[in-house]
Amino acid sequence: MRNPAKATDRLYLRHAYNGLVRNKAVNSALIAILILSAFLMATGSMVIERLAGSVGGLFAQAQPPHFLQMHKGEYDRSALEAFAADHDEIDAWLVTEMVGYESNALSWDRPATGESGSMSSSRFDNLFVTQNDAFDYLVDENGDIPEPAQGEVYVPVKYQQAFGLQAGDTLTVVTDEGPIVLDVQGVVKDAQMAASLNSATRVLVSDDDFEQLRQAGGLPEVIVEYRLTDGGLANDLQGAYEADEALPKNGPAITGQQIQIINTFSDGLAAMALIFVSLLLVVVALLNLRFVITGTLEDEVQEIGAMKAIGIPDRAICGLYLSKYVAMTLAACVVGGLLAIVATSYLTQSLQANYAAAEVGPWTFLVPLIALAAVFGIVVAICRRVLRKVRKIEVVNALVHGSTLNEKQTARRARRQARWVRRTGLASSSGTSLDRRLALLDLRAEGRQWVLVPVVFFLTAVLITVPANLLSTFESPQFVSSMGAPERDLRVDLQFQDEVDSVRQEVATALQGDERLADLRAYASVQYRTEGAEGVMSLPVEVGDYSGETIRFTEGGAPEEGQIALSALNASELGVGVGDTMTVERDGTSTAVEVSGLYQDLTAGGKTAKMRGEITQGASAYIFYANVVDGEDPVVIASALEEQFPTAVVFPMAEYLEQTFAGTTDAFRSAAWLALVFGIGVALLVTSLFLNLRLTRDRSKMGVLTAIGFSASEIVGQVRTKTLVTVVAGTLLGLVFAATGGESLATGLLAALQMNISDLTFIPDPWLVYALYPLLLVGAGYLGVVLLTAGIRGADKSQWLRE
Residues 670 and 803 in one domain: yes
Query: Percent of the chain having pLDDT more than 90?
Result: 20
Give the residue from 594, 623, 646 where a domain finishes: 646
Residue at 652 is within a domain: no
Collapsed DSSP state (helix, strand, coil) of residue 537 = strand
- Say how far residue 42 (Cα) sits from the centre of its chain: 17
Task: Taking residues 783-794, report their average pLDDT.
Answer: 78
Stretch among 146-150, 273-277, 333-337 having the lowest mean pLDDT: 273-277
Residues 376 and 413 in one domain: no
| Beta carbons of 332 and 286 less than 8 angstroms apart | no
Task: Taking residues 662-690, report their average pLDDT.
Answer: 81
| Beta carbons of 196 and 122 less than 8 angstroms apart | no
Contacts (Cβ under 8 Å, ≥6 apart) of 317: 304, 307, 308, 390
Residues 143 and 9 in one domain: no
pLDDT of 782 > 80? The answer is yes
Residue 592: which H helix or E strand, with range?
strand 589-599
| pLDDT value at residue 12 | 59
What is the band of 777 on the pLDDT scale with cuts at 50, 70, 90?
very high
Residues 57 and 148 in one domain: no
Give the residue from 173, 197, 221 where a domain finishes: 221
Q: Report how far residue 719's alpha carbon sits from residue 291's, in angstroms, rounded to the nearest whole number.
A: 18
Residues 599 and 689 in one domain: no
Q: What is the largest CA-CA distance in the chain?
A: 103
Residue at 245 is within a domain: no
Residue at 74 is within a domain: no
Residues 351 and 312 in one domain: yes
pLDDT (tens digit, 9 = 90+) per residue, 124-138?
778 999 999 889 999
pLDDT of 8 > 70? The answer is no
Burial 597-634 (b: 16+ CB within 10 A, else e): bbbbbbbbbbbbbbbbeebeeebbbbbbbbbbeeebeb
Q: Report how far residue 606's alpha carbon sits from residue 246's, in angstroms, rounded to the nearest whole number.
A: 24
Give the residue from 623, 646, 669 where a domain finishes: 646
| pLDDT value at residue 404 | 59
| pLDDT value at residue 269 | 67
Residues 559 and 685 in one domain: no
Q: In DSSP terms, which residues pair with 591 in a beta bridge?
A: 584
Residues 594 and 706 in one domain: no
Residues 170 and 183 in one domain: yes
- CA angle (635 as vertex; 631, 639 as ends), nearest 5: 120
pLDDT (tens digit, 9 = 90+) per residue, 503-544?
888 888 999 988 899 889 999 988 888 887 666 777 889 999
The more confidently predicted of residues 428 and 253 is: 253
| pLDDT value at residue 430 | 47
Query: Based on the structure, what is the number of domains in the chain?
Result: 5
Residues 417 and 343 in one domain: no
pLDDT (tens digit, 9 = 90+) per residue, 348-398?
777 777 777 778 888 889 999 999 999 899 888 888 888 887 777 776 665
Cα–Cα separations (whole angstroms), residue 459 to 272, 279, 456 = 17, 11, 5
* Mean of all residue pLDDT scores within the chain: 81
pTM of the model: 0.74
Residue at 312 is within a domain: yes
What is the band of 751 on the pLDDT scale with cuts at 50, 70, 90?
low
Q: Report how far residue 799's alpha carbon sits from residue 803's, in angstroms, rounded to the nearest whole number.
A: 7
Residue at 90 is within a domain: no
pLDDT of 547 > 60? The answer is yes
Stretch among 23-27, 227-231, 413-417, 648-652 having the lowest mean pLDDT: 413-417
Contacts (Cβ under 8 Å, ≥6 apart) of 18: none
The more confidently predicted of residues 92 and 256 is: 92
- CA angle (658 as vertex; 652, 664 as ends), nearest 5: 160
The neighbour count for residue 707, using CB atoms within 10 Å, is: 12
Residue at 84 is within a domain: no
What is the band of 428 on the pLDDT scale with cuts at 50, 70, 90?
very low
pLDDT (tens digit, 9 = 90+) per residue, 586-626?
877 888 999 999 988 766 666 789 999 888 788 878 899 99
pLDDT of 17 > 70? The answer is no
- Which of 308-322, 424-438, 509-523 has maximum average pLDDT? 509-523
pLDDT (tens digit, 9 = 90+) per residue, 279-306?
777 887 788 778 777 777 777 777 777 7
Residue 222: which H helix or E strand, with range?
strand 219-228
Contacts (Cβ under 8 Å, ≥6 apart) of 528: 538, 539, 540, 541, 584, 585, 586, 609
Residues 334 and 295 in one domain: yes
| Domain ranges, residue 419 | 394-424
pLDDT of 637 > 70? The answer is yes
Residues in the chain: 803
Q: In DSSP terms, which residues pair with 624 in a beta bridge?
A: 492, 522
The more confidently predicted of residues 142 and 80 is: 80
Residue at 205 is within a domain: yes
| pLDDT value at residue 20 | 61
What is the band of 1 on the pLDDT scale with cuts at 50, 70, 90?
very low
Residues 709 and 757 in one domain: yes
Residue at 282 is within a domain: yes
